[in-house]
Amino acid sequence: MSMFSLTGKRALVTGANTGIGQAIAVGLAQAGAEVICAGRRACDETVAMITAEGGTASSVLVDFADPMAGQGLFGDQAIDILVNNAGIIRRNDAVDFTESDWDDVMDVNLKALFFTTQAFAKAVLARDGQGRVVNIASLLSFQGGIRVPSYTASKHGVAGLTKLLANEWAAKGINVNAVAPGYIETNNTEALRADESRNAAILDRIPAGRWGAASDIAGAAVYLCTPAANYVHGAILNVDGGWLAR
């Protein structure tokens, strides 16, 4: 079997209804995995894209605004791969930022990620299996950003949790890594792309000279799930067009 094959594996991708999550779900299916697409909205389009290519996919409605919503996802069937992609963002000046906007983002981006991953790991360890976790971090796991205090705090937290969980589980058969997307054309970045001056400033700094596509993230995430990444633990793979190299 190819070191890049996921044939026979079952993956669950959160926030798989659109954007980066959708691209990762399709990429995992193309590598041979059966994919369960989880989202607060229906993932019918993603499932259709996968099945149209001959892959196997299903969907489940989960709203990670409840940080414990993922607790029941791993009891009925063995899942080998978890991709924590679900996330939200709120924008406002730090002096005007509300407690609600803080809590909403932290609950989805960090608390739900941890407790969903905990439930996944418990199931893997209970069956003495092998597992892969890929968290979706951000450039704001390393930088401060502007007007997104809870998002920045949550993504710094994702980077830290990725390393902590790797430390605890690497010797137990579970690889935990993350992908840090750069500026990608998704719903979350629509406001930035619509701001002419901010868009120009961002493009000017990206060595690749373009915004990334969601599909640019899929390859990195799939790699971390394959046997090719067997000895990769606690890594945060930047896929940013060279942004952090500047």
Active site annotation includes 231:
no
Q: Is domain 10-240 annotated with CATH 3.40.50.720?
A: yes
Tell me what the pLDDT averaged over the chain comes to: 96
pLDDT at 1 over 80: no
Q: Torsion angle of alpha carbons 43, 240, 232, 226, nearest 10°?
A: 40
Question: Which is it for the CA torsion 110, 111, 115, 118, positive or negative?
Answer: positive
Q: What is the pLDDT of residue 76?
A: 79
DSSP per position, 62-88: --TTSTTGGGGTTSSS---EEEE----
Q: What is the pLDDT of residue 219?
A: 96
pLDDT tens sequence across 36-79? 999 999 999 999 999 999 999 999 999 999 999 999 999 878 99
pLDDT tens sequence across 102-158? 999 999 999 999 999 999 999 999 999 999 999 999 999 999 999 999 999 999 999
Q: Grade residue 189 by pLDDT with cuts at 50, 70 and 90.
A: confident
Q: What is the pLDDT of residue 149?
A: 98
Q: Grade residue 15 by pLDDT with cuts at 50, 70 and 90.
A: very high
Answer for the pair 104, 154: CB distance below 8 angstroms, yes or no: no
- Candidates 151, 183, 223, 231; catalytic one: 151
Q: Grade residue 93 by pLDDT with cuts at 50, 70 and 90.
A: very high
The residue written with tokens 């990206």 in the block is: 206
Q: What is the pLDDT of residue 75?
A: 85
Q: Per-domain residue ranges for the chain? A: 10-240
C-alpha to C-alpha distance for 221 and 106, rounded to whole angstroms: 23
C-alpha to C-alpha distance for 119 and 50, rounded to whole angstroms: 26
Instruction: Compute the average pLDDT of residues 4-22.
Output: 97
pLDDT tens sequence across 203-216? 999 999 999 999 99
Q: Which residue has the higher pLDDT, 184 or 77?
A: 184
C-alpha to C-alpha distance for 101 and 213, rounded to whole angstroms: 27
Q: Tell which residue, 9, 3, 2, 1, has the closest CA to residue 29.
A: 9
C-alpha to C-alpha distance for 244 and 246, rounded to whole angstroms: 5
pLDDT at 188 over 90: no
DSSP letter (8 states) at residue 234: S
pTM of the predicted protein model: 0.96
